[in-house]
Structure 1
């Protein structure tokens, strides 16, 4: 497996985007809910920026999901990536 921290960044971004799209929110909508710039959301979603735990909690609040649920999704995707090598 390549660099685990890079893989986790990618998974966080993909998970955030999937939840956002499922809820019918634009990047702009989520950015407004979390009081951040839209470009920050974009950078997370493409895996170029890794949000802090505090910011993940804020993003989850904006998405109206529990951080524990978000981390479970990320963990599940990480385990899949590890198995697929």
Structure 2
């Protein structure tokens, strides 16, 4: 599994665990909602700055996005 795929899966998993929509996450992280969707569909790779914003908005450590959930 590529790192981009792992980040996408974990982002989606954590967002769902927090019962948060893409729109709400985007609003809290101050990013575009379409961008969140593109990250989850692996169309873009997130920078460390974006991962930090998303993690803060979700209330998790950024390392959560890199976990191997196989």
Q: Same fold (TM over 0.5)?
A: yes
Which residue pairs with 1:10 in the alignment?
Answer: 5
1:5-24 CA distance string (max 9 Å, x none):
xx111110110001001110
Cα distance in 2 for partners of 1:24, 1:76 equals: 21
1:26-58 CA distance string (max 9 Å, x none):
000000001111100000001111100111011
Equivalences for residues 2-81 of structure 1 within 5 A: 7-68=2-63, 70-71=64-65, 74-77=66-69, 80=70
Q: What count of residue pairs does the alignment treat as equivalent?
A: 70
Would you identify which runs of 4 or more consecutive aligned residues in structure 1 move more than 6 Å?
none
Unaligned ranges ≥5, structure 1: 81-85
Unaligned ranges ≥5, structure 2: none
Q: Quick check: which one's helix share is greater?
A: 1
Kindly name which structure, 1 or 2, has the bigger radius of gyration based on alpha carbons: 1
Cα distance in 2 for partners of 1:55, 1:46 equals: 16
Structure 1 residue 66 displacement after superposition: 1.3
Aligned alpha-carbon RMSD (Å): 1.4
